[in-house]
């Protein structure tokens, strides 16, 4: 008998015994037989992500309920979702083809990972007419657990976030729905499934091994990301399957985004774009008056190092100041002088400024809400840019970059130098606290670059004003009985379905360490060389210092005397001011020097570094910045920069104008000019008697380095006018 005849007879037998729906199609199900339905009453960030993944794999989606008010309940507190069943039942009335395949999935927390061909093939292989996603945990009624059929292997409980089946069977399944919109859709489908007669009549089964659907709730240990050919795909390692649809309905070790939902963050597609051009908001070519209006919120919560530098960087932000309003909340009395100085000089440059000071009795949480209101209440405000004072804003284009990325909530990735501490979390623990995601280190260290959906950000972020006026309009955004204000805020953001993004596509800056910052000095930043070495270097080390080591920017005014830049003007000024503020200048110092074979006191008017508790910081400075020059200029000599004496000397014509010839009690000496000849004083300098060589025009911030004993017998030349200051270190005595 011919094959065609046999096939025809088997088909007749099938139709005579069973209904048409129980007869398997002869070949693969054509892709045009697939109709995908979802419910989305508003276009949230999750919905947009869902649609992007659908477009990537050439799915066509029919959206139900678009623009309709959501009355399906609050998933955060109680079961709901009946509105989805109502909308599905209504939509199926127009489906007349009996062999139409319906895929019904959630949209706010779902993404596709493969195309229709694989989806339909895997559905066909189940040999059932309706296939639901499966879960490890039962919800919402645990009392129904014993009524669920046992499975030989895999997940036992039904999940309503995704199912696929023939239109006629699904019509039959939802025909009895008469519930309310806020009734539980999952409970409705579960009761159908555990009813043996209805389960068999409709021909329902579960995707127990996650070949079609992967629900992430309860899947803490079974889902990993598989990277292959430029793509990342979720893999169920427990069943060795590659699900086509991923439903982020609960915690995994991958990451959390919103509504307690979890989606793999590093999901990429072969032809997908990290930043798609059609999603951007370009600012180039706009007139200044056309730039979006932004309220910048500045929050000073505790004593913070380098606050004056923070304001200097704020001024350099490349954005029209007439399109910027400032909201400054200062909780710290110590910083009142710094805020006042900034506003006194620059307030008029901005569109508007509002200040809340430490004496106004406004707590930190309330001040953040007031800042949000400043933007909410201004009809022209389009963005709120929040910055804590411990943010080091290094990229002057940062605000423009973030606006152009056109996200509702986005943060520039920043971390503490040399540490993995950053301004975002990659994942949350089950109780809502920090958990490290598998990709966190790669993102912080820049091995993976892009825009990342994350569950928590802090310290610096850009928030779109329409989000503040709608999804985030509640007055208690930062309040929680159990969470810190920043964690409570991010929890509220997630609850409202707003995605928080962090981008590491540029270098934006860093976060300061504030834990050990003391305010008992005049210039407290000088003491930050240990806690914030990068910021200390930028503030106090001469910008040409690196050329000393790399380009030989070292002068030799006398034999074995080396002259090089080391301190900025700010460093010099602050050291002088610190010493004068301390004020206890010696009337005749205790500088031990070697003269004519013996030790003798050579008096100076000085204050020692240990008198102002600066000796540890000074030693760190010598090790980091002087020792490398020493070892470069005196080959074969290595120093640990030990010293017994390090001090600032003051020379005045009517006090002590000069210093008689002497040897220093050191292997080598550093003599660092702290102010400028011809401006601050006249005269001065140093003369090396053996070589009859003098340096009579010391440069502010430059150091003289020379041997201390035997060869470099020297004297301090007279200061004839003004006041001269030098910092001296006898190194390796």
Catalytic residue list: 724
Structure tokens at 54: 């659908």
CA 708 – CA 61 distance, rounded (Å): 82
Query: What is the sign, positive or negative, of the torsion defined by CA atoms of 55, 61, 65, 66?
Result: positive
Structure tokens at 21: 């729906």
Distances in whole angstroms, Cα of residue 353 to Cα of each of 174, 272, 338: 58, 42, 16
Q: Are 317 and 393 in contact (CB under 8 A)?
A: yes
Give the E-state strand segments of 253-351 in sequence order: 293-300, 324-330
Q: Is 356 helix (H, G, I), strand (E, B) or coil?
A: strand
Q: What is the DSSP letter of 167?
A: H
In 280-363, which ranges are continuous DSSP H helix? 307-315, 336-346
Inter-helix orientation angle 307-315/533-540, to 10°: 70
Q: What is the DSSP letter of 82?
A: H
| Residue (of 488, 500, 558) closest to 714 by Cα position | 558
List 694's β-bridge partners, or say none: 687
CA 449 – CA 665 distance, rounded (Å): 54
State the virtual CA torsion across 207, 210, 216, 221 in degrees, nearest 10.
130
Q: What is the DSSP letter of 27?
A: S
**Count H helices, E strands: the chain?**
19, 40
CA 110 – CA 45 distance, rounded (Å): 11
Element (H, E) at 107: none
- DSSP notation for 205-236: EEETT-SSEEE-TT-TTTEEEEEETTEEEEEE
């Amino acid at each position: 008998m011919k094959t065609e005849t046999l096939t025809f007879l088997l088909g007749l037998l099938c139709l005579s015994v069973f209904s048409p729906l129980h007869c398997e199609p002869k070949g693969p199900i054509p892709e045009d037989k697939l109709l995908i339905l979802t419910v989305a009453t508003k276009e949230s960030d999750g919905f947009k992500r869902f649609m992007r993944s659908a477009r990537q794999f050439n799915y066509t989606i029919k959206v139900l309920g678009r623009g309709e008010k959501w009355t399906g309940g609050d998933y955060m507190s109680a079961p709901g979702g009946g509105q989805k069943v109502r909308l599905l039942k209504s939509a199926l009335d127009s489906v007349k083809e009996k062999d139409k395949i319906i895929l019904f999935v959630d949209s706010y927390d779902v993404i596709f990972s493969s195309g229709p061909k694989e989806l339909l093939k895997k559905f066909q292989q189940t040999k059932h007419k309706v296939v639901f996603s499966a879960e490890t945990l039962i919800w919402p009624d645990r009392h129904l657990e014993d009524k669920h059929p046992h499975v030989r292997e895999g997940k036992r409980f039904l999940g309503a976030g995704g199912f696929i089946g023939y239109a006629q069977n699904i019509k039959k399944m939802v025909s009895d729905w008469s519930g309310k919109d806020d009734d539980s859709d999952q409970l409705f489908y579960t009761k159908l499934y555990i009813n043996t007669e209805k389960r068999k009549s409709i021909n329902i089964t579960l995707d127990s091994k996650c070949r079609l659907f992967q629900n992430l709730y309860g899947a803490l240990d079974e889902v990993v990301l598989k990277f292959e050919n430029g793509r990342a795909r979720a893999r169920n390692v427990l069943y060795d399957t590659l699900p086509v649809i991923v439903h982020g309905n609960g915690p995994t070790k991958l990451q959390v985004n919103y509504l307690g939902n979890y989606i793999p963050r590093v999901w990429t597609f072969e032809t997908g774009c990290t930043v798609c051009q059609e999603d951007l908001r370009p600012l180039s070519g706009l007139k200044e008056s056309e730039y979006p209006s932004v309220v910048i919120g500045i929050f000073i919560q505790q004593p913070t190092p380098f606050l004056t530098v923070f304001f200097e960087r704020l001024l350099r932000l490349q954005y029209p100041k007439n399109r910027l309003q400032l909201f400054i909340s200062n909780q710290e009395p110590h910083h009142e002088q710094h805020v006042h100085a900034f506003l006194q000089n620059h307030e008029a440059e901005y569109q508007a400024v509002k200040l809340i000071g430490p004496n106004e009795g406004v707590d930190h949480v309330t001040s953040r809400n007031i800042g949000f209101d400043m933007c909410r209440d201004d009809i022209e405000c389009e963005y709120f840019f929040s910055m804590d004072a411990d943010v080091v804003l290094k990229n002057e284009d940062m605000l423009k970059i973030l606006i152009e990325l056109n996200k509702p909530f986005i943060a520039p990735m920043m971390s503490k130098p040399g540490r993995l501490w950053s301004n975002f979390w990659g994942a949350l623990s089950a109780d809502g606290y920090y958990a490290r995601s598998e990709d966190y280190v790669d993102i912080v260290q820049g091995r993976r670059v892009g825009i990342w959906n994350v569950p928590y950000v802090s310290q610096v972020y850009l928030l779109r004003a329409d989000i503040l006026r709608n999804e985030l309009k509640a007055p208690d955004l930062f309040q929680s009985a159990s969470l810190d204000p920043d964690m409570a805020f991010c929890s509220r953001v997630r609850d409202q379905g707003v995605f928080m993004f962090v981008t590491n596509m540029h270098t934006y800056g860093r976060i300061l360490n504030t834990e050990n910052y003391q305010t008992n000095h005049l210039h407290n930043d000088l003491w930050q060389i240990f806690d914030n070495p990068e910021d200390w270097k930028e503030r106090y080390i001469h910008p040409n210092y690196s050329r000393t080591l790399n380009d030989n920017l070292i002068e030799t005014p006398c034999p074995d005397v080396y002259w090089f830049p080391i301190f900025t003007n700010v460093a010099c000024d602050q050291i002088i001011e610190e010493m004068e503020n301390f004020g206890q200048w010696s009337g005749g110092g205790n500088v031990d020097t070697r003269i004519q074979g013996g030790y003798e006191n050579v008096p100076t008017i000085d204050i020692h570094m240990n008198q102002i508790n600066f000796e540890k910081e000074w030693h760190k400075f010598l090790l980091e910045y002087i020792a490398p020059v020493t070892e470069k200029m005196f080959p074969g000599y290595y120093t640990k920069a030990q010293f017994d004496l390090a001090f600032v000397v003051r020379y005045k014509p009517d006090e002590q104008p000069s210093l008689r010839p002497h040897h220093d009690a050191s292997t080598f000496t550093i003599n660092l000019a702290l102010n400028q000849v011809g401006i601050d004083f006249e005269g001065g300098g140093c003369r090396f008697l053996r070589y009859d060589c003098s340096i009579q025009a010391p440069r502010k911030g430059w150091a003289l380095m020379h041997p201390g004993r035997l060869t470099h017998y020297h004297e301090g030349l007279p200061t004839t006018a003004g006041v001269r200051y030098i910092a001296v270190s006898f190194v390796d005595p």
